[in-house]
Amino acid sequence: MQLTHVAILPSPGLGHLIPLFELAKRLVVHHGIHVSFLVINTNEATTAQDQLLRSPTLPPGLEVVDLPLVDVSAITTDDITMLARLCVIAEESLKSLRSVLIGLALGKPNALVIDLFCTQAFQVCNDLSIPTYSFFTPSVTFLAFSLYLPTLDREVEGEFIDLPEPIAIPGCSPVRPGDLVDQVRNRKIDEYKWCLFHLSRLPLAAGIFLNSWEDLEPVSLKTIREHPFYLQIPTPPVYPIGPLIKQDEELTISDKEYLAWLDKQPPDSVLFVAHGSGGTLSSEQLTEMAWGLELSKQRFLWVIRTPRFLEKTQGVGMVVPSWAQQATVVRHPSTGGFLSHCGWNSSLDSVSNGVPMIAWPLYAEQKMNASLLTEEIGVAVKPVKGPGKKVIGREEINRVVRLVMESEEGKVMRHKVKQLGHSASRALETGGSSFDSLACVVKKWKGNQ
């Protein structure tokens, strides 16, 4: 029987690489697919990326293929914004996609799965008669917004951020202008134009994979599948196949130090505080955070780039300079809360492991995620900035930490998120909703050989 061969193409950056790499591994291990994992290759490759992709424990049948090197300095400027930079790099790299797909060791793939910012691949694959699927890395709720954005762009004059009322997304909860994704707050900038370009091309996909599962966002899923607005776009079939989160992390000596400390703490007793690889807080906010954590009297593990609060917190908490293995910490039995920037990967880490959150969004679509997690799913609490304040004060930090870690309201939240964590595990098991959703597409691929 002929081997089914699928190529997967993520956008640059670990936030995109990790879930698509987990998809690649699941296809190989659970569904007998051979995967060519295509990597956008620049002269700025990171150690973390190399560790992820060059692990000696990769399953047979998963081949990492570097696209021709892109010289970032030749196509970007010093003042280019993060998303525009990512899109420019992807566009340059995809100029080689046709020759790479034709030249793969197993020949032309049966399908290509692309990330959100690689939609130039649609034309290439159309010419080669390769069905192309989109892997949507954010939430289902954000997909609903994304599918509505081209209509919003046509119908609204001026800036969305200036609208007097929340934006009514068909069939979904309205989005407050203040919660809008950063890249659509100014329609004149390149980031908005890139966003609109890529998001408006989602209907070109043969199907859209979602890093979510049936029980996590049932309303948004039902809306996209059944609401007349999405049917008339027309929206491609959607396949919730998550949660696809990082499973294995290589631990260093410095990792073992804080994990040994965690091992000594009671179950569900430690608040994990981390702001993501791209997150930073002002000096004033860091000071308030340190005081708030001390006032709460709760155990904590705080990942911080400038660990000058070590002496103040000695004994109660532990400060880790620069980096910690997030997936390993969140799934540790002692971790009982996660103060998170609410990136979707981090949110899935938390929910999948039954850990309630303090939502501290910083950039991208994180404010929308924070509202979803607090107001609709009910597994997070969001601190409130006082009137006229530039930062969230120590008393408010103390309040939300104690709420999550020791209050009755926190217990209700913990119970809800632990139920969702069990649901996430069941979804991925053989016969679970996410397993079957992916198996449905795999069956199509195998039938099209």
Catalogue the active-site residues: 16, 115
Phi-psi region of 388 (alpha: psi -120 to 50; beta: other; left: phi over 0): left
Amino acid at 190: D
Burial annotation 157-186 (CB, 10 A radius, 16+ → b, else e): eeebeeeeeebebebbbebebebbbbbbbe
Instruction: Give the length of the chain.
Output: 449
Q: Which SS3 state, helix, strand or coil, does residue 9 take? A: strand
Give start and end residues of each alpha helix (H) in 156-297.
190-199, 218-226, 228-232, 253-263, 283-296
Q: Which SS3 state, helix, strand or coil, does residue 429 take? A: coil
Q: Is 355 exposed, middle or buried (0-12, 13-18, 19+ CB in 10 A)?
A: buried
Please answer whether residues 53 and 21 qualify as being in contact, where contact means their C-beta atoms are separated by less than 8 angstroms: yes
Rounded Cα gap, residues 204 and 161, in angstroms:
28
Q: Residue 70 to residues 11, 41, 96, 121: CA-CA distances in angstroms?
A: 13, 6, 10, 17
Start-to-end C-alpha separation, the chain: 10
Rounded Cα gap, residues 245 and 352, in angstroms:
9
Q: Which residue has the tokens 């919730």?
A: 240
Please answer whether residues 143 and 238 qualify as being in contact, where contact means their C-beta atoms are separated by less than 8 angstroms: yes
Residues 6+ apart with CB under 8 A from 435: 30, 427, 428, 429
CA neighbor of 131 nearest in space, from 39, 30, 236: 236
Chain centroid to Cα 338, Å, comes to: 16
Rounded Cα gap, residues 184 and 173, in angstroms:
18
Please answer whether residues 131 and 152 qualify as being in contact, where contact means their C-beta atoms are separated by less than 8 angstroms: no
Question: Token pair of 226, please?
Answer: 């059944």
